[in-house]
Amino acid sequence: MRSAADEIAALVAAQGALRFDEYMRIALYGVNGFYVTGGSAGRRGDFITSPEVGPLFGAVLARFIVAEWERLDRPGDFTVVEVGAGPGTLARGISAALAPTSLSPRYVAVEVSAAQRRLHPAGIESCADLPGGPITGVVFANELLDNLPFRLLVFDGGWREAYIEVRDQRLVEVLHGCDQLPSWLPPSAPHGARVPWQEEASAWVRSARSALVAGSLLVFDYATARTAGCAPTAGTSAAATT
């Protein structure tokens, strides 16, 4: 069976170095990608997230959801949209915590991986794309944004951009110049500093906000407050510079 690495190597052979975000897209979401072939959160999965630790995270979120519903004067069309829902553990936790309350919302679990959608619990809607709206309710995502493909900038005497090439039959990172650097990037940084350029995450936040007519967007990730805040941190770059 072809692996994501085989697929990336074939693409590099056909069209040259792949920009880091394209490499990440194939590695995670290509036909042989990590999430598409069943990579998932969970104690028996590949990594652990807050909902997988126990029911408390879902219980806290359920309280927030009820508070939002009450703040909006208990609308009848209240919808909860969970994006990047993984195997549905958080959906189960939130549904259990909402059961004794008087709120019984429409619950939409958005997950790109069909393998993970198959694990979603009964009684919720399961789909691959963010519903277009208008949505009255709460849209939330736990550990989604840093899983959206991003460009990667590396300080190597100046800012350069990471690409993936094949050398000696191995995928390696190489650095190329970047024509248009983002304006928020500091002019200098410690050698090897690495900064994600999360254009796709920004676009996702904009589309989620525009789908919401009333309610809140809530996203959880573990990072610096601003992307430029990553720059003072020296990385351990082993990239070749071209």
Q: Residue 144: which of 109, 95, 115, 96 has the closest Cα? A: 109
CB of 167 to ligand SAM, least distance (A): 30
- Enumerate residues 6+ apart whose C-beta is below 8 A from 34: 4, 27, 28, 46
Task: Point out which span in 17-25, 47-55, 167-175, 221-229 binds ligand SAM (CB under 6 A).
Answer: 47-55
Place of tokens 């009333």: 214
Q: What is the rounded CA–CA span in Å between residue 111 and residue 118?
A: 10
E strand or H helix that includes residue 180: none
* DSSP annotation of 145: G
Q: Of 18-26, 104-112, 155-163, 209-217, which segment contacts ligand SAM by CB under 6 A?
A: 104-112
Residue 60 main-chain phi, psi, to 5 deg: -65, -45
Contact window for ligand SAM (CB under 6 A) among 46-54, 117-125, 187-195, 224-232: 46-54
User: Residue 198 interacts with ligand SAM (CB under 6 A)?
Assistant: no
Is residue 52 part of the contact set for ligand SAM (CB under 6 A)? Answer: yes
Q: Distance between CA atoms of 233 and 236, rounded to whole angstroms? A: 10
Tell me which residue of 139, 115, 125 sits closest to 40, measured CA to CA: 115
Q: Which is nearer to ligand SAM, 36 or 228 (CB)?
A: 36
Q: Does 24 bind ligand SAM (CB under 6 A)?
A: no
| Token digits of residue 143 | 């550990």
Judged by CB under 6 A, the stretch of 63-71, 112-120, 150-158, 191-199 that binds ligand SAM is: 112-120
84 binds ligand SAM (CB under 6 A): yes
By CB under 6 A, tell whether 147 contacts ligand SAM.
yes
- Judged by the rule CB under 6 A, the positions of this chain that interact with ligand SAM are 35, 41, 49, 51-52, 83-86, 110-113, 116, 142-144, 147-148
